[in-house]
Amino acid sequence: MDIVFHNGTNGSSPWVEFYPYTPSATAGYAFMAIFGITTVVHLVLMCPFRAAYFIPLVLGGVCETFGYYGRAWSHQSRFEIKSWALQEMLILCAPPLIAATVYMVLGRIIRSFDAEHLSCMRPNRLTFVFVMNDALCFCTQLGGAGVQITGDSTIMSIGKKIVLAGLIFSLVVFGFFVIIAVTFHRRLKQRPTPILTKNPALAWTRYMWTLYVACAALMVRNLVRTIQFGANRTSDLNTKEAYIYIFDAFLMFLAMLVLIMYHPGLLIRNTRQAMKAVGFHQPLTDDRSSGQVLLTEYEPRPTH
């Protein structure tokens, strides 16, 4: 998204035009309320489900909330750097935080089903690798957006390129993650673990589709943002504010909403309760050298 620098005329000071339009205060406040409510709901749900891994998503929701406050504030003046910087930094940095929770959810689902042998990557390693890559995306976009508040045309141009690189990298990371998730889904469906065989009511597939919807929303958002930052100022993506709300605000809200409707914490809690009910214990033997997990690992605990 290009920013226009205007040289002062007749002795006046130079000034910067941050928007090619006047941001809508109504839309800004509306999504500020939407993200605020959604974030509070996620914060409340963390307690009964003991879902501390949703902390990054909650922080992302806070960023979205105050980011759209910044857009509403920008309605007063599209030449004000404070309001522009607030919305630019927070709205760009929120998606990587939401994505971090999505990455951690898959790892916990794999462990809860005792299905590590069906995953292309061990859950602990999966979480570490993708969250670290996500942190790199976050820092890249934060840094790229942060240097733009200097008001210097050269530095702001560099910052734009850094943000663009971060968006492209996040798309690549998401692509690998979706491949791993789909592969695990297919394998688990073909070879369900005993806990799933004995508890078909767990309906785990709907939670996998929830992850896919959240991933799709994040990927489309990042793709559109990448195109936007690569396009010139006169393109529709940069001259029509509606695109920001359709392909960014709405998609981020959708990602957060589906994780409320089918909260993974509920699946993980029900799975743990089912394992306790049938007396499954942790694996006794695990022949990793042959790539097979012995059936004796699912024998029930002895009762006294």
- The string of DSSP letters for 225-257 reads HHHHHHS-TTSHHHH-THHHIIIIIHHHHHHHH
The pLDDT value given to residue 257? 97
- The reported pLDDT for the residue numbered 209 is 96
Please spell the DSSP secondary structure of 110-138, one letter per residue.
HHHTT-GGGSSS-HHHHHHHHHHHHHHHH
Range of 153-162, 214-223, 231-240, 280-289 with top mean pLDDT: 214-223
DSSP per residue, 46-105:
HHHHT-GGGHHHHHHHHHHHHHHHHHHHHTT-TT-HHHHHHHHHHHHHHHHHHHHHHHHH
Question: pLDDT-derived band of residue 278, with 50, 70 and 90 as boundaries?
Answer: low
Whether the Cβ atoms of residue 58 and residue 46 lie closer than 8 Å to each other? yes
297 band by pLDDT with thresholds 50, 70 and 90 = very low
SS3 label, residue 4: strand
- What stretch of H or E contains 185? helix 153-190
- The CATH number of the domain covering residues in 25-274: 1.20.1070.10
pLDDT band at 283, cuts 50/70/90?
very low
Span 168-190, pLDDT tens digits:
888 888 899 999 999 999 999 99
User: Any idea which of 1-5, 49-53, 99-103 has the lowest mean pLDDT?
Assistant: 1-5
**pLDDT for the residue 303:** 44
Q: Where are the domains of the chain?
A: 25-274
- Mean pLDDT over residues 130-144, rounded? 79
Span 29-81, pLDDT tens digits: 999 999 999 999 999 999 999 999 999 999 999 999 999 999 999 999 887 88
Phi, psi dihedral angles at 248 (to 5 degrees): -130, -65
Q: Is the pLDDT of residue 158 over 50?
A: yes
147 or 233: whose pLDDT is higher? Answer: 233
Three-point CA angle 44, 46, 86, nearest 5°: 75
Residue 111 predicted with pLDDT over 50: yes
Angle between helical axes of 55-74 and 25-49 (0-180°, round to 10): 170
* CB within 8 Å of 303: residues ≥ 6 apart: 279
User: Is the CB of residue 19 less than 8 Å from the CB of residue 74?
Assistant: yes
Q: How far apart are alpha carbons 218 and 175 in whole angstroms?
A: 11
pTM value is 0.83
Whose CA is closest to 217, among 162, 254, 174, 178? Answer: 254
Min mean pLDDT across 84-93, 260-269, 279-288 is at 279-288
Residue 13's pLDDT is 60
pLDDT for res 282: 47
pLDDT one-digit tens code per residue, 195-210? 888 888 888 999 999 9
Mean of the per-residue pLDDT values of the chain: 83
- Beta-carbon contacts of residue 194 (< 8 Å; ≥ 6 apart): 280, 298
